[in-house]
């Protein structure tokens, strides 16, 4: 397998691209972007590309990013790239994996097909998959790699909060909490969640042994933060000595971070899959290893 010869990136992810290129021992080059007054975009890539190129693009706040991403992929093919790998640390539109009411568009399916048409492989971190077992199913006919930052977060928690109880704020987060606990040798438990709307969430501790414990809520993504708010408030009311948060994707939409702090959460740690002041663990070693393996 030819080693990656270049990491292409957009300006807002230059720091992560530089770290990834250093790990792969290749160059990182930014894509020049010009926005026209009518909202269209002109891109400029290096005029001659090596056979294998990595295109780094996270899809948090995805809609303005998708068209430039697809145009950059098509342009890379025209400029000499024969193997194009997408490194997408946060892969959007994964939640909608079925039509819950007649007429709903299954966004996961259609985004996956677009990416499969543009890239030879898609590498992401902790995608929010429900009824789909592997990322290969999302990008049909291509190599899909779903990495996890759970072990990195668990190791970080074990270092800064020895003996912490890792608590999943809902059943879906249980998979990440179990992996983090196993990697770090920590106790863990899982809450139960009832969601009535995007910002209307109730979390029950379901007998989690939090009294007197330093609790760390661990999840794959924080968006509005309402799940963590309910879980943190419940843990503190049940006697937890402290509550911190560890998360792979720190989206923190709107007032989410302030709401989480107001609920009694102390520290927040995240991976650098999404740029945020809380970034505490790096995903580059995971991504670089996946690129070398395939």
d(CA 170, CA 203): 7
Is residue 15 classed as helix, strand or coil in its secondary structure?
A: helix
Among all residues, which ones are annotated catalytic?
Answer: 193
d(CA 95, CA 92): 8
Phi/psi at 99 (nearest 5 deg)? -85, 110
**Burial call 143-179: b when 16+ CB within 10 Å, e when fewer:** bbbbbbbbbbbbbbbbeebeebbbbbbbebbbbbbbb
Phi/psi at 250 (nearest 5 deg)? -90, 80
Q: Which of 195, 211, 214, 215 is nearest to 203 (CA)?
A: 195
d(CA 114, CA 204): 39
d(CA 220, CA 79): 36
d(CA 39, CA 42): 10
At a CB cut-off of 8 Å and minimum separation 6, what does 240 contact? 210, 211, 212, 213, 214, 215
At a CB cut-off of 8 Å and minimum separation 6, what does 117 contact? none
Q: Which of 214, 228, 212 is nearest to 186 (CA)?
A: 214
d(CA 253, CA 256): 6
Tracing tokens 């740029």 back to the chain, one arrives at 275
């Amino acid at each position: 397998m030819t080693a990656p010869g270049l990491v292409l990136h957009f300006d807002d992810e230059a720091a992560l691209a530089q770290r990834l290129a250093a790990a792969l021992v290749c160059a990182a080059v930014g894509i020049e972007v010009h926005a026209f007054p009518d909202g269209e975009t002109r891109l400029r890539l290096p005029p001659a590309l090596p056979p294998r190129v990595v295109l780094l693009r996270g899809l948090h706040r995805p809609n303005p990013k998708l068209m430039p991403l697809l145009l950059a992929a098509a342009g890379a093919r025209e400029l000499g790239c024969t193997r194009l790998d997408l490194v997408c640390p946060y892969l959007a539109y994964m939640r909608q994996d079925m039509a819950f009411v007649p007429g709903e568009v299954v966004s996961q399916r259609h985004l996956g097909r677009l990416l499969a048409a543009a890239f030879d492989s898609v590498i992401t971190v902790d995608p929010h998959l429900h009824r789909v077992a592997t990322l290969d199913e999302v990008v049909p006919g291509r190599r899909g790699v779903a990495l996890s930052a759970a072990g990195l977060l668990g190791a970080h928690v074990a270092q800064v909060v020895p003996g912490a109880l890792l608590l999943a704020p809902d059943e879906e987060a249980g998979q990440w909490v179990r992996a983090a606990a196993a990697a770090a040798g920590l106790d863990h438990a899982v809450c139960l969640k009832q969601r009535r709307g995007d910002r209307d969430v109730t979390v029950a501790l379901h007998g989690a042994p939090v009294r007197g414990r330093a609790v760390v809520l661990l999840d794959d993504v924080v968006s509005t933060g309402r799940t963590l708010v309910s879980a943190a408030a419940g843990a503190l009311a049940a006697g937890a000595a402290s509550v911190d948060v560890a998360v792979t994707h720190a989206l923190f939409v709107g007032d989410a971070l302030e709401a989480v702090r107001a609920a009694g959460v102390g520290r927040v740690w995240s991976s650098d899959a999404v740029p945020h002041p809380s970034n505490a663990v790096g995903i580059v070693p995971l991504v670089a290893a996946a690129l070398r393996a395939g």
